[in-house]
Amino acid sequence: MNAQAKPPARNTKVMNRFDLTSRLLARLKNEEAVVGGIGNTNFDLWAAGHRPQNFYMLGSMGLAFPIALGVALAQPKRRVFALEGDGSLLMQLGSLSTIAMLAPKNLTLVVMDNGIYQITGGQPTPAASVTDIVAVAVASGIASSAWAADEEDFERLVEQSMTASGPSLIGVRIDDKPGVGTTRRDPVQIRERFMHGMGVRQPL
Amino acid sequence: MALAEQKTSPQASPEQAPPQTWHGIVQQTLKRNEIRLVPYVPDRVLTTLIKNLHADPYFTTFPTAREEEAVGIVSGAWMGGMRGVLLMQTSGFATLANALASLAMPYQIPLIMFVSERGTLGEFNYGQSLVCRTMRPVLDSLAMEHHTCTRLDEFEFIIDRSIKQAITTQSPVALILSPLLTGGKVFDK
């Protein structure tokens, strides 16, 4: 079945997760929040440079966008980025409709799409050869959704999203490389540090 | 049944006597505890509460596609300094074990959940009665605080104290709304 399906036509370069995450972090100047989804997505966020405004999700596959939405609703003046894998997003496609309905201006969603469950051994996702995730986002009501053609285009789309009148989604095709680092798996410290980063709490 | 019907009847205007309905008590108690964000997956029993919360500009009330999604949203909002609560039905709770065990519990997030209890005291759908039996074992296996609310006279005490405990101890809590309190959903409705 899959062999017969034609992959969606994309005029996009295959990029690298760690490189794109580093490029994103380098552009952040205003203590923007960054929520990293399960597995390699947050491993590369960790490797790109820990900051108190980073949140690393260690389970709950598919909830990076909902968590970021919650932060964006709580702090409408802060820009919130969410980094999610394609397999993770497939678990929670309905969250795109919720985000479209609430339409927070301060939320930028990034989908790292390699078509595989990289961390479990590189098995293809059901969407890999048949589904265009950016088209799904547009159809879900997130009008400002686009594939990044290359690294420069990714940076341009990130910049554009910061002044958009609603939420934005950026799709990036990435290779099958594993994450560069490994997040320190300490959920309480991650959450507490993030709350410090959000200005919600002061350290003891 | 007559008593239960009475309990679910719409309350008088908010300026008058203190709320006499379970849903009026929920609305007032959420406000008193500065809980503004209310994602929900609907349930028939919750209809009036959801309608009243939507009509009250104090709250940001909205549906989500799945209960898990709402756990993520409330968790994110908490970390951003905004308190939230999740409304759902028993069968929705049954989809949450992973999100509770991998997000709310280990990150110590005071996730406040109201669960309208179906599957007992007059259930007409076999599947609902079966899924209901999974709820308390899941809560107990995670050692998660939960209360089954059956009486109007102690309802405010239970939910107000439980919300405060959840926040101060940074622990999730499930507040189960029994048909004894709400009237539940019966076959002829």
- Taking only the tens place, the pLDDT of each residue in A104-155 is 999 999 999 999 999 999 999 999 999 999 999 999 999 999 999 999 999 9
Query: Which pLDDT does position B17 carry in this prediction?
Result: 63
Q: Which fold has domain B22-182?
A: Rossmann fold (3.40.50)
How close A163 gets to chain B, by Cα (Å)?
A: 21
How close B66 gets to chain A, by Cα (Å)?
A: 7
The per-residue pLDDT of chain B, averaged, comes to: 92
Q: How far apart are CA A83 and CA A111, in angstroms?
A: 6
pTM of the model: 0.93
C-beta of residue B108 within 8 angstroms of C-beta of residue B114: no
Query: Which pLDDT does position B18 carry in this prediction?
Result: 58
Sign of CA dihedral B37, B41, B44, B45: negative
State the pLDDT confidence band at B2, using cuts at 50, 70 and 90.
Answer: very low
Across B68-78, average pLDDT: 98
State the pLDDT confidence band at B9, using cuts at 50, 70 and 90.
Answer: very low
A101 touches chain B (CB under 8 A): yes
DSSP A78-128: S-EEEEEEHHHHHTTTHHHHHHHHH--TTEEEEEEE-SEEGGGT-EEPTTT
State the pLDDT confidence band at A11, using cuts at 50, 70 and 90.
Answer: confident
Across A14-43, average pLDDT: 97
What does the domain layout of chain A look like in residue ranges? 17-197
Residues, chain B: 189
C-beta of residue A39 within 8 angstroms of C-beta of residue A19: no
A65 touches chain B (CB under 8 A): yes
Q: Take residue A198 and report the two structure tokens written for it.
A: 């959000």
For A69, which of B76, B98, B99 is closest by C-beta distance?
B76
Whole-complex ipTM: 0.96
B65 touches chain A (CB under 8 A): yes
Q: How far apart are CA A166 and CA A162, in angstroms?
A: 10
Q: How far apart are CA A60 and CA A88, in angstroms?
A: 9
Interface contacts A/B by beta carbons within 8 Å: 128
State the pLDDT confidence band at B39, using cuts at 50, 70 and 90.
Answer: very high
Q: How far apart are CA B38 and CA A41, in angstroms?
A: 29
Say yes or no for a CB contact (<8 Å) between A200 and B76. Answer: no
Query: Percentage of chain A surpassing pLDDT 70?
Result: 95
3-class DSSP state of A39: coil
Across A149-162, average pLDDT: 98
Across B176-183, average pLDDT: 98
Say yes or no for a CB contact (<8 Å) between B107 and A67. Answer: no
CA distances A169 to A118, A160, B104, Å, are: 22, 11, 26
Q: Take residue A150 and report the two structure tokens written for it.
A: 């290359």
With b for 16 or more beta-carbon neighbours within 10 A and e for fewer, the B93-111 pattern comes to bbebeebbbbbbbbbebbb
Q: How far apart are CA A103 and CA B114, in angstroms?
A: 26
Query: Which pLDDT does position B15 carry in this prediction?
Result: 58
pLDDT tens for residues A52-74?
Answer: 999 999 999 999 999 999 999 99
Residue A9, pLDDT above cutoff 80? no
For B65, which of A94, A190, A194 is closest by C-beta distance?
A94
Query: Which pLDDT does position A61 carry in this prediction?
Result: 97
Residue A94, pLDDT above cutoff 80? yes
* CATH superfamily for domain A17-197: Thiamin diphosphate (ThDP)-binding fold, Pyr/PP domains (3.40.50.970)
Query: Which pLDDT does position B187 carry in this prediction?
Result: 78
Residue indicated by tokens 């350290």:
A203
Q: Take residue B115 and report the two structure tokens written for it.
A: 């669960």
Query: Percentage of chain A surpassing pLDDT 90?
Result: 94
How close B43 gets to chain A, by Cα (Å)?
A: 18
pLDDT tens for residues B76-123?
Answer: 999 999 999 999 999 999 999 999 999 999 999 999 999 999 999 999
Query: Which pLDDT does position B185 carry in this prediction?
Result: 87
Contacts of A189 (CB under 8 A, 6+ apart): none
Across B124-151, average pLDDT: 98
Q: How many CB atoms lie within 10 A of CB A35?
A: 33
Query: Which pLDDT does position B60 carry in this prediction?
Result: 98
State the pLDDT confidence band at B6, using cuts at 50, 70 and 90.
Answer: very low
